[in-house]
Amino acid sequence: MKTLMSSSKQTSMMSRIITIFVGIVCSLLLQDASASVVSTGDFSKDFFVNWSPSHVNTSLDGTTRSLTLDKDSGSGFLSNDKLLFGQFDMKIKLIPGNSAGTVVAFYLTSDEPNHDEVDFEFLGNVVGQPYTLQTNVYIDGFDSREQRIKLWFDPTKDFHTYTILWNIYQIVFMVDWVPIRTYRNHKDKGVAYPMKPMGLQVSLWNGESWATNGGKDKIDWACSPFIASFKNHKIDACVWEQGPESCWAGGPDKWWNNERFNSLTWAQRRLFRWARKYYLTYDYCQDNQRFNNTLPQECLLPKY
């Protein structure tokens, strides 16, 4: 979708909106957050390397980490705990230059055949073309719920915060606190919703068969190694193993399940509409041809 206002005016407007919105969100979270934080801020303590340790580099203090992809292997790491509901933040700086065919993933997964999964996938591109950010939701092993946006900044120049809020009411995908997608809990209307405990996983891998231009633009290995960087992670969630029944509760230490987080706020709705109006490039809920004019039921229900 083409931006309908000048870049300078749009950037100025966005800056003002985000400043107001972040202040509101931070004040709300500070009121509700308590002893729910699972993460220590140390990658070495909160995660284990589950794919190619030689391609994972962590700072001495554990606060930053990078993943590498080359001809030999991709790489990845996974949270130590299984979690049910919470908020998950990660600052990410993506691969610069020619990143075509590469995929950086930041996601929750129950990691089983009929698994639940909530995905951020960053699809690399050739020089001069923007990254595509794809989100997806798997439930009981079924996906086909892709949405894609172009970002309003260059994600290779600096770190930006990517957030998944997952509670008993909704899933909200956020970029620098701007909601870009929701998936609501409409189980009372017969719509499936992720309910399995999941681990938080990060990976960098070869997706050249599909990721860029439908798989037409392959990885240029002359540009490798490809490196993505991560820092300032925060896992504010319920640990499944410590008492799964309590994960359904609200209260000070389960703030994400409190009623005030049952929908987007007015400020979030404004940002949500802005992001989708100017940056959405694909939404499965608008793909009538794919679903033979019978869209999935959640597409016909409220987004917030």
The pLDDT tens digits of the residues spanning 136-167 come to 999 999 999 999 999 999 999 999 999 999 99
Confidence band (pLDDT; 50, 70, 90) for 20?
low
Mean pLDDT of the chain: 91
Confidence band (pLDDT; 50, 70, 90) for 245?
confident
The reply to whether 208 belongs to the active site is: no
What pLDDT score does 37 carry? 79
CB 49 within 8 A of CB 56: yes
What pLDDT score does 10 carry? 55
User: Cα–Cα distance between 30 and 197 in angstroms, integer?
Assistant: 26
Collapse the DSSP code of 268 into the 3-class scheme (helix H, G, I; strand E, B; otherwise coil) and give the result. helix
The reply to whether 117 belongs to the active site is: yes
Collapse the DSSP code of 135 into the 3-class scheme (helix H, G, I; strand E, B; otherwise coil) and give the result. strand
| Nearest one of 240, 260, 80 to 170, comparing CA atoms | 260
Among candidate residues 112, 117, 241, 298, the one labeled active-site is 117
